[in-house]
């Protein structure tokens, strides 16, 4: 008898076909957004799940699902999964690192350039029919070339963002929990500085930290006050890393020139004041949203689940200690 699994969100048909070769599959191709109670009820008699970052896998859910053996996230982030609870229950947890690095780095640059050159604001202005004539000082933006790029969180995606800065002849600074080896710094053309120096010197600050309790509101009013009034902040990491209320206040008073945001606290219910600000570019948590990359993510999660439930070694296992239970 095949193991029974559930796929919590709509995925590609070819990935479902692969899963059905190995499992009895319940899908959600209608892409309904399940409540925590609904998800827990559906998982009661399942051996595994392919989950999205919006699915909360907490201790209460795990305790109510004694058959559950594997939870495979279709994301690189996994702050939606209680790893400690999974490990204690012997539930293997996996993510999908690597396959989305370049795509997310591209998106960071899309937000950075759109913010610097006021693309969203100008687009709305043209669509409203307000462009009546050309003017020499019309819709002036900010140069990206030769500016200082600051990166807070220098993992794989941060390094990919840094490498792209060569084309703009930028000075690249970064701060990370651990300094990179010299060869990796050289490849990224980046210099390590303190967090305070990064905030003070960056013309464009790109946030690429994983969400964790210690990173909650890592950038708040005190950090924003250190930044140049001409600086711009790009958050493509996770909501909660930035104190959104403090960011809105800084943007409204001119403490920052602009922001490009792909993630928000409480998303998708972001603070409505963001939509009232002309100097903000808003994106719906779409950093990895290309066809090719989302397909790779789904296939990676599927391969993790197949290995986990067939006695193999999932390529991206987050909690090896769960095997000891």
Residues of the domain holding 149? 101-282
| Same domain membership, residue 47 and residue 29 | yes
> Is 61 in the same domain as 150?
no
Q: At what angle do helices 119-127 and 101-116 cross, to 10 degrees?
A: 60
Kindly write down the DSSP assignment for every residue of 173-184, as one continuous string: EEE-SSPPPHHH
pLDDT band, residue 17 (cuts 50/70/90)? very high
Q: How many domains does the chain have?
A: 2
Model confidence pLDDT, tens digit, residues 273-296: 999 999 999 999 999 999 999 999
Per the structure block, which two tokens stand in for 271? 């603070």
The pLDDT of residue 183 is above 60: yes
What residues contact 198, with CB distance under 8 A and at least 6 apart? 150, 152, 173, 174, 175, 205
CA distances from 270 to 79, 87, 213, 249 (A): 19, 33, 20, 15
Q: Are residues 51 and 64 in the same domain?
A: yes
What is the reported pTM? 0.93
> Is the domain of 89 the same as that of 116?
no
Tokens of 259: 């922001």
Known active-site residue 285: yes
Same domain, 172 and 295: no
Distance (Å, rounded) from C-alpha 121 to C-alpha 142? Answer: 14
Predicted local distance difference test score (pLDDT) of residue 164:
98
Catalytic residue among 9, 175, 238, 294: 238
Give the CATH number, domain containing residue 20: 3.40.50.720
What mean pLDDT value characterizes the chain? 96
Q: Are 167 and 269 in the same domain? A: yes
Q: Which is catalytic among the residues 9, 175, 285, 294?
A: 285
Q: Is 145 a catalytic residue?
A: no
Whether 325 has a pLDDT exceeding 60, the answer reads no
Position 89 scores a pLDDT of 96
What confidence tier does 259 reach under pLDDT thresholds 50, 70, 90?
very high
- Say yes or no: 117 and 265 in one domain: yes
Kindly state the average pLDDT of the residues 157-168.
Answer: 98
Q: Are residues 112 and 259 in the same domain?
A: yes
- Residue 1 pLDDT: 85
Domain shared by 263 and 209, yes or no: yes
Is 77 found in the same domain as 29?
yes
Are residues 196 and 82 part of one domain? no
pLDDT score of 41: 95
Average the pLDDT over 7-25 and give the result. Answer: 98
166 is catalytic: no
């Amino acid at each position: 008898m095949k193991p029974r699994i559930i796929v919590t969100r709509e995925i590609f048909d070819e990935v479902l076909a692969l899963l059905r070769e190995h499992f009895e599959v319940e899908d959600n191709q209608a892409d309904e957004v399940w409540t925590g109670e609904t998800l827990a009820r559906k998982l009661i008699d399942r051996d595994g799940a392919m989950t999205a970052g919006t699915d909360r896998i907490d201790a209460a859910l795990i305790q109510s699902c004694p058959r559950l053996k594997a939870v495979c996230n279709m994301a690189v982030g996994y702050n939606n999964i209680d790893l400690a609870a999974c490990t204690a229950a012997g539930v293997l947890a996996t993510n999908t690192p690597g396959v989305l690095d370049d795509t997310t780095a591209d998106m960071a640059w899309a937000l950075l350039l759109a913010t610097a050159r006021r693309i969203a604001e100008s687009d709305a202005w043209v669509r409203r029919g307000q462009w009546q004539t050309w003017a020499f000082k019309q819709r002036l933006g900010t140069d990206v070339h030769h500016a200082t790029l600051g990166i807070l969180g220098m993992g794989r995606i941060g390094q990919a963002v840094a490498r792209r800065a060569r084309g703009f002849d930028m000075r690249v600074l970064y701060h990370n929990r651990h300094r990179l080896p010299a060869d990796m710094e050289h490849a990224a053309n980046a210099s390590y500085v303190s967090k305070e120096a990064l905030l003070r010197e960056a013309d464009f600050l790109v946030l690429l930290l994983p969400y964790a309790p210690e990173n909650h509101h890592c950038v708040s009013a005190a950090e924003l006050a250190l930044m140049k009034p001409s600086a711009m902040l790009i958050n493509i990491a996770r909501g909660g890393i930035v104190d959104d209320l403090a960011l809105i206040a800084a943007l409204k008073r001119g403490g920052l020139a602009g922001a490009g945001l792909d993630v928000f606290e409480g998303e998708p219910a972001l603070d409505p004041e963001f939509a009232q600000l002309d100097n903000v570019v808003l994106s719906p948590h779409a950093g990895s949203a290309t066809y090719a990359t989302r397909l790779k993510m789904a296939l990676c999660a599927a391969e993790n689940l197949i290995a986990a439930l067939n006695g193999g070694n999932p390529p991206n296992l987050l909690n090896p200690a769960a095997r000891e239970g």
